[in-house]
Amino acid sequence: MASAAIMMRTVARTSLGRALRSQVASTSVGSFRFASTHFTPAHEYVKVEDGVGTCGITDFAQAALGDIVFVDLPEVGDEFEKGDSFGSVESVKAASDVYAPVSGEIVEVNETLTDEPGLVNTAAEGDAWFIKIKVTDESELDDLMTSDMYKEHCEKESH
């Protein structure tokens, strides 16, 4: 009887472990976790922590643009509505506006991109973030894509 109970606990732990790993896998790519990252159809992302969103362009966008040579960003204190153009990015192939995925006030700008715009090509969703914005309405995140939805969106665009 005791061995049956031990076996049941072992099976339960194993099943729980698999379920948790499965859940983590659906919200992770490699070691980058997308738990609170949301995406726009125009390939911007926002990762919100404590009411502040870190925004930039996705890896898919930088790959489509090619070698980034210039990034134009707003000033701290500027305010934008969701969908407003807050800056632009230029590559050797094209130029593109960058749109605010959420409404809010700019609280920080990644000044590194002024001198090193090519960083976007190597760390688009990491150190090459564009702005940090104080989000005024977190319900706007509901209109954006999750990582799984965005992955599917990119796969459709690639074909």
> Domain check: are 17 and 88 in the same one?
no
Tokens of 95: 């130029």
- Can you tell me which residue has the tokens 């031990």? 6
The model carries a pTM of 0.77
- Identify whether the C-beta of residue 157 lies closer than 8 Å to the C-beta of residue 64: no
Residue 102: what pLDDT? 98
Q: Are residues 25 and 43 in the same domain?
A: no
Same domain? For 87 and 54 the reply is yes
- Asked if 73 and 96 count as a contact pair (C-beta separation under 8 A), the reply is no
Range of the domain at 10: 1-31
Task: Tell whether the model's pLDDT for residue 10 goes beyond 50.
Answer: no
pLDDT for 57 equals 98
Predicted confidence (pLDDT) per residue in 106-159, tens digit: 999 999 999 999 999 999 999 999 999 999 999 999 999 999 999 999 999 887
Alpha-carbon distance of 30 to 129, in angstroms, equals 19
Give the CATH number, domain containing residue 109: 2.40.50.100
> Is the same domain home to 74 and 150?
yes
What is the tens place of the pLDDT at every residue in 57-89?
999 999 999 999 999 999 999 999 999 999 999
- pLDDT(55) > 90: yes
Residues 17, 74 within the same domain: no
Do residue 48 and residue 3 come from a single domain?
no
DSSP-derived letter for residue 92 is S
Same-domain status, 46 and 78: yes
Contacts of 97 by beta carbon, 8 Å cutoff, 6+ apart = 85, 87, 88
The verdict on 3 and 50 lying in the same domain is no
Q: Are residues 22 and 45 in the same domain?
A: no
Number of domains making up the chain: 2
Separation of alpha carbons 45 and 101, rounded Å: 7
